Amino acid sequence: MSTPPTKEPLNTPSEDPLISPEEEELASAQRPVGPKRSSCLWIVLGAILLLLLCACLFTGLWLTGFRAPSPAVPPEIETPVPDGLSGRLTAEPTMPPTSPPPPATRLGGDLVVHFIDVGQGDATLLVGPDFAILVDAGRHDRDDVLPYLQSVGIDHLDLLVGTHPHADHIGQFPQVLGALTVDEVWLSGDEHTTLTYERALDAILASDAGYHEPRAGEVFTFGSMRVEVLHPDRLSGRLHDGSISLRIVYGEVAFVLTGDAETKAEEEMLARGHVLQAHVFQLGHHGSRTSNSAPFLRAISPEIAIYSAALGNSYGHPHDEVLQALEALGIPVYGTDQHGTILVITDGQQIALELDRGPEGRLQEQSRAVVTWIPHVQHVSGE
Ligand SMILES: [Zn+2]
Ligand SMILES: [Zn+2]
């Protein structure tokens, strides 16, 4: 317990009878009168006493907590705290780029994840300093994936994944496998009866790529990237519920991609006890209500959600229920229908987001604006 500070009298005359005369003498010493020996002594004594008094007063005031404003002390500078994305549900990409954060521990370079705008389909390119992976290759009735890959300098893929054999995911396998060298291809193992599927298989066979059907629990490393297979553990014949689902870890930042996996697959992933937490979640099935269940969203607990869909698509993707669930959880969402190709860039510690354009399909003056940096959040466990 401290007693309330009492304010020392600052300007009231001192009651010490010894002081006033000295002060008088000091004042009189300043008058232009002839020097006298005794008054000189008094002046010196007075000055010393005055200095002592001032020192005592100052110390007393300091100890009682009084802080006189001092022009010598600069005012505290408020350092702006970087905005988290949680406060940026309506982030405007036109805002000037924020300063990059202080350099973090580097992994030899950044991982750039390109959620490529391929209309109503999926194509996600992950490029790091020592790996390049493509998860899904767009629609069968478009020709936009290979030109995009080439535009960003990709001529080799360590891995090409077809999450499931639908035409909006493996549609451009032939173009990609025909033009690039690909080390390995993963498919779920579910078969389909379409020409698109047959053409994709033919392209894999005609290439030099290895082939694998990954299963839950497998873990791979591609350079400095770690790929954890979350799903499937077995096939049921339902193409969506057989979607290859991956948790991708780069440094301390994690991404979850689940293709078109639906609620049943999500329940299985939860039941198997996989670590699902991630900073970035690509919404299942283009943001459909058939996927993205609340327990699954909570388990992933992403900083941002991203979906790939065409503007005005006939499926109504992304569904309002999903967007509302994300809003309720405070998770901002970005879609290729609204923002064009979306880049998520990470050094393994922090995340930056770059959008082609703003909401409502409105083109922005600045074609690629860094919207925000997300300070590293310590909620992802590495294992
Ligand atoms: Zn599908
Ligand atoms: Zn799909």
Point out the ligand nearest to the CA of residue 122: 2
Reported as a pLDDT band with limits 50, 70 and 90, residue 52 is: low
Beta carbons within 8 Å of 241's beta carbon, 6+ residues apart: 232, 261, 262, 264, 265
What percent of the chain stands above pLDDT 70?
66
Point out the ligand nearest to the CA of residue 164: 1
Point out the ligand nearest to the CA of residue 285: 2
Mean pLDDT check: name the lowest of 61-75, 104-118, 148-162.
61-75
What tens digit of pLDDT does each residue of 236-265 get? 999 999 999 999 999 999 999 999 999 999
71 upstream amide cis, omega within 30 of 0: no
Q: If you measure from the C-alpha of residue 12 to the centroid of ligand 2, how many angstroms do you get, rounded to a whole number?
A: 84
pLDDT at 91 over 60: no
Beta bridge mates, 111: 346
pLDDT at 278 over 90: yes
Reported as a pLDDT band with limits 50, 70 and 90, residue 53 is: low
Mean pLDDT check: name the lowest of 12-26, 50-64, 214-228, 327-341.
12-26
Residue 285: what pLDDT?
Answer: 98
Residue 356: what pLDDT?
Answer: 82
Query: Which is more confident, 297 or 52?
Result: 297
**Mean pLDDT (the chain, rounded):** 77
Q: If you measure from the C-alpha of residue 274 to the centroid of ligand 2, how many angstroms do you get, rounded to a whole number?
A: 24
Reported as a pLDDT band with limits 50, 70 and 90, residue 357 is: confident
47 half-sphere exposure, CB direction, 13 A CA radius: 8
Q: If you measure from the C-alpha of residue 50 to the centroid of ligand 1, how many angstroms do you get, rounded to a whole number?
A: 89
Q: If you measure from the C-alpha of residue 284 to the centroid of ligand 2, how many angstroms do you get, rounded to a whole number?
A: 9
Residue 349: what pLDDT?
Answer: 87
Query: Which is more confident, 8 or 132?
Result: 132
Q: Degrees (nearest 5) of the Cα angle 273, 279, 281?
A: 75
Residue 39: what pLDDT?
Answer: 54
Residue 72: what pLDDT?
Answer: 37
What tens digit of pLDDT does each residue of 118-149 get? 999 999 999 999 999 999 999 999 999 999 99
Which of 26, 31, 56 has the alpha carbon at shortest distance from 41?
26
Point out the ligand nearest to the CA of residue 168: 2
Residue 355: what pLDDT?
Answer: 85
Reported as a pLDDT band with limits 50, 70 and 90, residue 382 is: very low
- Chain length of the chain: 383
Q: Stretch 51-80: mean pLDDT, rounded?
A: 41
Rounded to two decimals, what is the model's pTM?
A: 0.70
Q: If you measure from the C-alpha of residue 166 to the centroid of ligand 2, how many angstroms do you get, rounded to a whole number?
A: 7
Point out the ligand nearest to the CA of residue 139: 2
Query: Which is more confident, 198 or 57?
Result: 198
Mean pLDDT check: name the lowest of 55-69, 223-237, 306-320.
55-69
Which of 272, 160, 151, 172 has the alpha carbon at shortest distance from 216?
272
Q: Tokens 């006033």 sit at which residue?
A: 20
Residue 354: what pLDDT?
Answer: 86
Residue 120: what pLDDT?
Answer: 98
Distance in angstroms (rounded) separating the CA atoms of residues 85 and 342: 15
Reported as a pLDDT band with limits 50, 70 and 90, residue 294 is: very high
Q: If you measure from the C-alpha of residue 170 to the centroid of ligand 1, how many angstroms do you get, rounded to a whole number?
A: 10
Q: If you measure from the C-alpha of residue 324 to the centroid of ligand 2, how many angstroms do you get, rounded to a whole number?
A: 21
Ligand 2 ion: residues within 5 Å (CB): 168, 260
Q: If you measure from the C-alpha of residue 269 to the centroid of ligand 2, how many angstroms do you get, rounded to a whole number?
A: 19
> Residue 42 belongs to what H/E stretch?
helix 37-63
Reported as a pLDDT band with limits 50, 70 and 90, residue 99 is: very low
